[in-house]
């Protein structure tokens, strides 16, 4: 996907080194997605996985190196929040991709504002208030199945988990 998107980009070239900080709950998918996006646009990457997931991150980086990504273009920096704080405060960084809590994203934003060039991009995915609307056309059995799956799959520890449920008034009684 990212390679295809990068092929169509004509106006912007590489920005410089990017920091990619990924979460614990999708330790491979988000980690490699952030890295692929930065690499596809010609940037070097300093990859900092969640402190709980360094082994899968190390294996992913090893596979990327084996596949031909130069070690000078991709470095793994495992560790706790102190590593992330140092990386997101370094004026040599050209951009940050972060997936995690809103609180941490705000800390990163402040550190970047204090230390990096104006306009340095921060791509922060911090979850949301995902809603589901159940109207009169919904089959109650299917709606209940989907409500439970969206709310509690992965113990609710995913940014796409259902947080708000709207039931059309004339069908609400069927869900009590």
**Residue found by looking up tokens 């306009």 in the block:** 119
Catalytic residue annotation? 125, 159
Quote the CA–CA distance of 76 and 14 in Å, as a whole number: 20
Using DSSP's 3-state secondary structure scheme, residue 32 falls into helix
Between CA 91 and CA 59 the distance in angstroms is 29
CB-CB contact of 6 with 41 (8 Å): yes
């Amino acid at each position: 996907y990212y390679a295809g998107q990068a092929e169509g980009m004509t106006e912007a070239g590489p920005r410089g080194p990017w920091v990619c900080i990924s979460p614990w709950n999708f330790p491979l998918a988000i980690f490699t997605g952030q890295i692929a996006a930065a690499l596809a646009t010609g940037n070097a990457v300093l990859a900092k996985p969640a402190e709980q997931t360094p082994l899968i991150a190390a294996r992913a980086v090893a596979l990327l190196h084996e596949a031909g990504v130069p070690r000078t273009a991709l470095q793994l920096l495992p560790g706790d929040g102190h590593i992330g704080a140092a990386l997101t405060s370094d004026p040599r960084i050209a951009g940050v991709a972060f997936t995690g809590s809103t609180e941490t994203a705000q800390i990163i934003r402040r550190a970047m504002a204090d230390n990096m060039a104006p306009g340095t991009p921060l791509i922060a995915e911090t979850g949301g208030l995902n809603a589901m609307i159940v109207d009169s056309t919904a089959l109650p059995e299917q709606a209940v199945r989907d409500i439970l799956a969206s709310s509690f799959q992965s113990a609710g520890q995913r940014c796409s988990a259902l947080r708000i449920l709207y039931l059309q008034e004339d069908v609400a009684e069927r869900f009590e």
